[in-house]
Amino acid sequence: MSKHKLKFKLKYDLRPSDKITVNSLSITEIITNGSTYKVYGFGKIVKFGRALYLDQLSGNCRVTNNRFKEYLLSEYNLTEKEYYNIVVYGDIDYTPLCEYSKCRSPLEFLGINVNPSRSYRKYCSFSCETRHRVESGTSHMLSKNRSKYFKDHDEKAKEYGKKLYESGNHPFSDPLNTILATKLNFLANFRDKRNYSIARLYIAYTSDLFDEIKIGVTTMDLRSRANYIRDDSLPYKSIHLLYQGDITEVAELEYLIKLEFVDRRARSNSYEAFNSNLLKEILGYTRKLLRNLLESQ
């Protein structure tokens, strides 16, 4: 593609404030695949505002981000991936591998982004991510790291749940049937009727008066689920993915967790809300189930 064929202006001169930024960048000579490049700000992507990238091979202009691909081809005959690899890694052929030790497949390039984790995937699939997290104990939810994600909760919530439980005021007739029916309804509605194949098992902090954690399954993305208001519940305070996978497996996981903790639920009228002091046990049990699931595959 030659430059005169491009219909719109691709690039803009540097403003004085941009020049100050560029002058503060190091200049690194990169030799890769027989070619030499001078890279401004080697190791990272430099952007001006939301819409313009610095051309880090010339250091002298800003380029519209959604036409950067076109610019790189016309100016340098480089793909976005090649440019990114040169500027960030100094190796035009750089190819990261799936972090799961038993996989190590080459990973897909997602596009140029100032955030490295958005430029390349870290895993080739959700199942590799889950396997890696279970194997290494680095899951947000399944490791000691969770303290970072969950605040301590006040004694009030714990006492409230305890009182309810000890009062013996449980108007349910057969909770096991209710939990089973919930699972079957979910699968009938989302798997059978609407053809969803993937679902997410999550744990959330509710926004109710008393701090509770809630185990749930959804076919929505988690942010949408957290903000979703139903007749019986407010948006969630926070939401965390435990597992994403086959909808039948996910429904089964939720079912088994609810069964395991049914006698210790926070309120007699909910089979998915628990006091936050059960968090550690619920996560431990979930980890055990996930191990079994992954080993069985």
| Half-sphere exposure in the Cβ direction for 210 (13 Å, CA) | 19
Residue closer to Zn ion by CB (options 128, 179) is 128
Chain centroid to Cα 253, Å, comes to: 20
d(CA 30, CA 36): 6
Residue closer to Zn ion by CB (options 105, 224) is 105
Question: ∠ at Cα 102 (99, 105), nearest 5°?
Answer: 60
Is residue 179 within the footprint of Zn ion (CB under 5 A)?
A: no
Query: Which listed range, 128-136, 205-213, 256-264, 273-281, lies at the site for Zn ion (CB under 5 A)?
Result: 128-136
Is residue 294 within the footprint of Zn ion (CB under 5 A)?
A: no
d(CA 159, CA 161): 5
Is residue 124 within the footprint of Zn ion (CB under 5 A)?
A: yes
Residue closer to Zn ion by CB (options 124, 266) is 124
Residue closer to Zn ion by CB (options 98, 213) is 98
Is residue 107 within the footprint of Zn ion (CB under 5 A)?
A: no
| 38: CB partners within 8 A, 6+ apart | 27, 28, 29, 30, 57, 59
Residue closer to Zn ion by CB (options 86, 128) is 128
**Helical (H) or strand (E) element with 31:** strand 27-32
**Which one of 72, 98, 107, 141 is in contact with Zn ion (CB under 5 A)?**
98
**Which one of 25, 97, 103, 110 is in contact with Zn ion (CB under 5 A)?**
103
User: Which residues lie near Zn ion (CB under 5 A)?
Assistant: 98, 100, 103, 124, 128
